[in-house]
Amino acid sequence: MYKAVVIGGSAGSFQPILKILNGLNKDFRLPVFLCLHRLKHVRHGFVEALATKSNIPVIEPDDKEFIKGGIAYLAPSNYHMYIEPGHTISLSTEEIVKYSRPSIDLTFETSSFVYREKLIGIILSGANSDGANGIAAVKRRGGFTIVQKPAESTITTMPDAAIKATTIDKILSVDDIVTFLNTVK
């Protein structure tokens, strides 16, 4: 029984994310943590753009927001998003990691520390290697790892780096990621 999904992406991940959120069953029961690289100075608009197409609610959490199933949590601009033991999200303004805040590595690292083998980690299209250490942490702690098929990704740097960092369980097209998530127990 999985308890959470964490998804990371950068350049070229917007359409895949929309497709995933739009393809999830309306009664999808797991919390979904989304860490997507985004512009530092643009605080508004992104979450609204995702929410209009999504079958589950998408929110930008406040610090110490309580985690609920069936909700997608988008890392706010210019904050790292961490998963805290005890079912809350905490935010951080710590140093930029791999040119990024939010850092995909850090969201993956903290969520795998909390959820261990009950976590599904997914890396999508992107133009740097952020997320590679994170997905390796998910794998090391027994979670399930998925990477978007490089052949289908707009920019393959991020999927390639993830595949290089650990033994990925499944390399899938976005359509297959949706099917997988909707059938996962």
Partner 1 sequence: MQQSTEIELKDIKNLVAVVKSKYNFDFGDYSVSSFKRRLERILELNSIQNSEELLGQIISSKTFFDKFLKDITVNTTEMFRDPSLWRKLKTEVLPILAQNQKIRIWHAACSSGEEVYSMAILLKEEGLLERTTLYASDINEDVLSVAQKGIYPLRNMEVNESNYARFEGKGSLKDYYSVKEDKAIFDPSLRVNVNFKIHDLVQGAAFSKFDLILCRNVLIYFNFSLQDRVIRLFQESLFMNGFLGVGSKETIAWCKSADKFSTFCPDERIYRKEKE
Whole-angstrom distance, CA of residue 10 vs CA of residue 15: 11
- Is 63 a binding residue for partner 1 by CB under 8 A? The answer is yes
Is position 167 an interface residue for partner 1 (rule: CB under 8 A)?
no
Of the candidate spans 25-33, 54-62, 142-150, 153-161, the one that interacts with partner 1 by CB under 8 A turns out to be 54-62
Among 55, 92, 128, 154, binds partner 1 (CB under 8 A): 92
Of 7, 30, 91, 104, the one binding partner 1 (CB under 8 A) is 91
Structure token digits, residue 63: 């610090």
The Cβ-side half-sphere exposure at 115, using a 13 Å CA radius, reads 31
Residue closer to partner 1 (CB basis): 26 or 86: 86
DSSP string computed for 55-112: SS-EE-PPTTEEP-TT-EEEPPTTSEEEEETTTEEEEE-PPPBTTBSS-HHHHHHHHH
**Tokens read off for 176:** 């297959």
Output the smallest distance, CB 118 to partner 1, in A. 17
| 73 is a contact residue toward partner 1 (CB under 8 A) | no
Q: Which of 77, 129, 130, 153 is catalytic?
A: 130
**Contact (CB, 8 A) for 17 and 7:** yes
Binding residues (CB under 8 A) for partner 1: these are 41, 43, 60-64, 76, 79, 82-86, 88, 90-95, 105-106, 109-110, 113, 133-134, 136-137
